[in-house]
Structure 1
Amino acid sequence: MFRLTQAQTTRETALTMTTDRSRYGTLILLVSMLALLCLNQDLNLSLFRAINGLSPSLPQWLQLGITDLGHGSTLGTIVLICLLRRPELMPRVLTASLLSMILVPLLKQYFDAPRPAATLDFLYIVGETRLHHSFPSGHSTSAFLFAGSLLMVMQDKKSKWVLLMGAAMVALSRILVGAHWPVDTLAGALLGLSCAYVASYVPLVHLSPRHWKILMGILLLTLLVCQYKETSSQMAWQIIGLRWGLLLLAGVLVLRQYLQSRQPLTPRKWVRA
């Protein structure tokens, strides 16, 4: 019996990635039920005060760091790093991201819900104070979109729990910093999971090395431009370090992959199993 070496089977392994939606519907149902419960104003307010009341006990830099993981450019850099490992997910991620980029602004404009700082006399605010367009939470949408896109193709249960807990921490941080109500974060989570679910029906595509390098270059350049425009002296230095550190890592990984792709191909080798 003969088998290909590990380096030779990378392409075959990627193309045989399966999509498991068996328990995804249960997750969406659970989040939907929680969001419906939080439509009750008294419960929504009580949960906000309970969670936001924990803010003084946690370092501000930690709260800002966690909540920034749901920011578009920061999470976009993390997505780029992950796509370097699983490039065949690119069409799904782009589809889900496009859906959220259309739906989130439309919903924010339509509901134009006031944020906690606009209605409460006392709350803890960490970072920028915002007053309008509270529903739904864009950070929560992005975090659960990313988690949901990976949940359906991952096999390791521990990794799935880590993804869910990470997305949940981003959503909770939006309440901790005083930016959103609990119903906003749950609606964002539901929207992100739904966008990922719709995008899961987009077929996996293995791009050619040339097309892959072009797309990676465009994404990296776009993130660099966005990050440059968004960085200001008023931002916490921890956030600036996090964002540019992730971009530096992504740039190094993209360059490494580009250099590896330029190496001459070795003859296909078979080894006896």
Structure 2
Amino acid sequence: MTSVRESPNSILMHISFVMNFLGGGLIAWVIIPLGGAAAFVLTRKPVAAIYWLLSLGLSAAAVQGVKQLVGRARPLDMLVVSDHGSFPSGHTANAATIAVVLGIVFRRTWIWVVGVLGIVVMAFTRTYLGAHWITDTLAGTLIGVCVAVIAWAALGVPLLKEQLRPRHQRSPR
């Protein structure tokens, strides 16, 4: 009998590879940060754009710094190619940072729910693919949440002013 992980056609395997693609490389390091910042600027939310970029940049830096300090080996049965160091998971840190930033900026319950589900799916798929130990994904989640909250503490007042300003009074086109 084969396990779900051993079946190359399993839906879970396909979802895991999609999450791997979305959470790393050019997508995570360039397209999501710049695309999100552009969307905020185009919707006249420049402070949100700064918060977005600052949070994602600090989260990535924190993950890489901890990876250098800890140097934990990845699981031996990894199904994807990844960078050095298992601890913490950059994919889950990125997912958590995105979830918290969007939750704070848009202040909608459904965004928080989707964000938490996204973090859980990312953490599960990183472990499922053998790229991380579960503690790596938990640490990545904590880093992402903490960085987004710390960045919010620094930008909270101007961000709130931007959110409360009527749309027609936001910065000019």
Please classify the TM superposition score into its range, dividing by the shorter chain length.
0.7 to 0.9
Q: What's the CA shift string for 1:138-163, capped at 9, x where partnerless?
A: 11111111111011233332232012
1:106 corresponding residue in structure 2: 65
1:180 equivalent among 132, 141, 165 = 132
CA distance in 1, matches of 2:106, 2:74: 36
Identity of aligned residues (%): 29
CA distance in 1, matches of 2:64, 2:34: 23
1:92 corresponding residue in structure 2: 51
CA distance in 2, matches of 1:91, 1:129: 29
1:142 equivalent among 72, 80, 94 = 94
CA distance in 2, matches of 1:208, 1:99: 28
Distance change (3 Å), C-alpha of 1:179 and 1:166 = same
2:6 corresponding residue in structure 1: 56
Does the residue aligned with 2:14 lie in a helix, a strand or coil?
helix
CA distance in 2, matches of 1:104, 1:144: 12
Q: What's the CA shift string for 1:8-54, capped at 9, x where partnerless?
A: xxxxxxxxxxxxxxxxxxxxxxxxxxxxxxxxxxxxxxxxxxxxx65
Deviation at 1:81, TM superposition (A): 4.3
Distance change (3 Å), C-alpha of 1:188 and 1:95 = same
Unaligned stretches of 5+ in structure 1?
A: 1-52, 118-122, 210-273
1:127 corresponding residue in structure 2: 80
CA distance in 2, matches of 1:166, 1:96: 17
Deviation at 1:171, TM superposition (A): 1.6
- 1:69 and 2:34 aligned: no
- 1:194 and 2:146 aligned: yes
Does the residue aligned with 1:90 lie in a helix, a strand or coil?
helix
CA distance in 2, matches of 1:56, 1:67: 17
| Number of aligned residue pairs | 150
CA distance in 2, matches of 1:196, 1:129: 24
Indicate if the aligned counterparts of 1:70 and 1:139 stay in contact, CA closer than 8 A.
yes
Structure ranking higher on relative contact order (CA contacts 8 Å, 6+ apart): 1
Q: For residue 114 of structure 1, what is the amino acid of its counterpart?
A: A
Q: What's the CA shift string for 1:87-123, capped at 9, x where partnerless?
A: 3211101211221232111110111011111xxxxx4
Does the residue aligned with 2:130 lie in a helix, a strand or coil?
coil
CA distance in 1, matches of 2:63, 2:15: 26
TM-score (norm 1): 0.49
When the two chains are superposed, the root-mean-square deviation of aligned CA atoms in Å is 2.4
CA distance in 2, matches of 1:194, 1:72: 22
CA distance in 2, matches of 1:96, 1:159: 17
Distance change (3 Å), C-alpha of 1:95 and 1:78 = closer
Q: For residue 92 of structure 1, what is the amino acid of its counterpart?
A: Y
Unaligned stretches of 5+ in structure 2?
A: 163-169
